[in-house]
Amino acid sequence: MTDRTTYAKQVLAGQSIEMPSWAFGNSGTRFKVFAQQGVPRDPYEKLADAAQVQKYTGAAGSVALHIPWDKVEDYADLAAHAAALNVKIGTINSNTFQDDDYMLGSVCHPDAKVRRKATEHLLECVDIMDATGSTDLKLWFADGTNYPGQDSIAGRQDRLAEVLAEVYARLGDDQRILLEYKLFEPSFYTTDVPDWGTAYAHCLKLGPKAQVVIDTGHHAPGVNIEFIVAFLLREGRLGGFDFNSRFYADDDLMVGAADPFQLFRILHELALREVILPDSGIAYMLDQCHNIEPKIPGQIRSIMNVQEATAKALLVDHEALAAAQQAGDVLGANAVLMDAYNTDVRPLLAEVRTEQGLDADPLAAYAASGYAEEIKAARVGGSQAGWGA
């Protein structure tokens, strides 16, 4: 066993990818959400399903909440329920895009009353962080305009900065803002946080407790995401990821489904800086909508895809790569990366899982557990969690 393989096994054994609670509910596209049997009816059942992913992968120890989708009366009780299931509450995600008042924006809305409403929601999310022990508040804003002249572009940036500053001031010592960007949708002329540069500029102005989140589906075609990763890492402003996969836009497919090589390239930059493990301060999370595939297996497959890309990235011969780069050996340097990418790491991951007391094949183990049949029989009646289209 080589030193690189030994190191890869150590990192893989400690890797953790956060799950989104909404991935276990009914979700889909703007055209249709297809309901499935056994879907959770409340946040407690979502946590129970998430615990199954952790049980069979050993690499999914936390669950992100989305407010108000996951609103409960007692958040401390919800956190205790999560702990009893061997998971914990992770990032708290705000929602300022599903209220009629937000048709023209939320924190960037021209009406101060609407901005106040949105701000109070964000402050409520910080309260929920306090109650659950969460340290991260993720902010994504659907704010933007559809037509030239609809609103002041600069004025909307001023309003955004004002709200962000108020929320930032409310954070505790160990809490932070993770600011997400998106190229377009639902607004089509301007988006108020359209790219990593805009998010980075606002985070710089706010202070060290504000960092940028990269959603892998939120870029124009051809954008070099690993460059953004490398830059933000260098600046100490990479706060986290929303891992998913896209063919055209923000498709929210299972990560690695469309371009596994891109996922490997991203993980390579992270492996170079040795920031894969949870103590790196980078929040690794899935953000996906399982519209036609079953929810729990979809999350398990996604975790496995991230693990495989990570394993390949950890096997890159950094010394050989650096030597080839220094010598200007273009093909040699590329070959070093391709050798690692073309490695079949499934036996290595099976070994890691076995050493952790897990089944070597998480998907097969879950399928054999009978849990899917149990929840289909038990979760009859009530309202399924999800969002309509």
Where are the chain's structural domains?
15-378
Instruction: List CB contacts of 293: < 8 A, sequence separation 6 or more.
Output: 254
Instruction: Please compute Rg for the chain using Cα positions.
Output: 21
pLDDT tens figures, 188-205: 999 999 999 999 999 999
Average pLDDT over residues 39-59: 97
Average pLDDT over residues 80-101: 97
| pTM assigned to the model | 0.96
Q: Does residue 388 surpass a pLDDT of 60?
A: no
Residue indicated by tokens 């329920």: 81
Q: Which of 16, 101, 24, 58 is nearest to 290 (CA)?
A: 24
Per-residue pLDDT at 1: 61
Average pLDDT, the chain: 96
What percentage of the chain has pLDDT greater than the value 70?
99
End-to-end CA distance of the chain: 52
Residue 305 CA to its chain's centroid (Å) = 14
pLDDT tens figures, 288-301: 989 899 999 999 99
Q: Does residue 136 surpass a pLDDT of 50?
A: yes
Q: Does residue 120 surpass a pLDDT of 70?
A: yes
The CATH number of domain 15-378, selected from 3.20.20.150, 3.10.20.30, 3.90.1150.10, 1.20.1070.10: 3.20.20.150
Q: Which of 76, 86, 70, 72 is nearest to 20 (CA)?
A: 70
Average pLDDT over residues 59-77: 97
Per-residue pLDDT at 389: 44
Q: How wide is the angle at C-alpha 64 spanned by C-alphas 63 and 68, nearest 5°? A: 130
Region class of 133: left (phi > 0), else alpha (psi between -120 and 50), else beta: left
Distance, in Å, from the CA atom of 377 to the CA atom of 371, rounded to the nearest integer, reads: 10
Q: Which phi and psi angles does 172 have, rounded to 5°?
A: -80, 175
* pLDDT-based confidence at residue 31 (cuts at 50, 70, 90): confident
Distance, in Å, from the CA atom of 141 to the CA atom of 193, rounded to the nearest integer, reads: 7
Q: Which tokens in the block code for residue 39?
A: 């879907």
pLDDT tens figures, 7-29: 999 999 999 999 999 999 988 77
pLDDT tens figures, 141-191: 999 999 999 999 999 999 999 999 999 999 999 999 999 999 999 999 999
Average pLDDT over residues 317-338: 98
Residue 361 · residue 303 · CB < 8 Å:
no
Per-residue pLDDT at 33: 85
Per-residue pLDDT at 335: 98
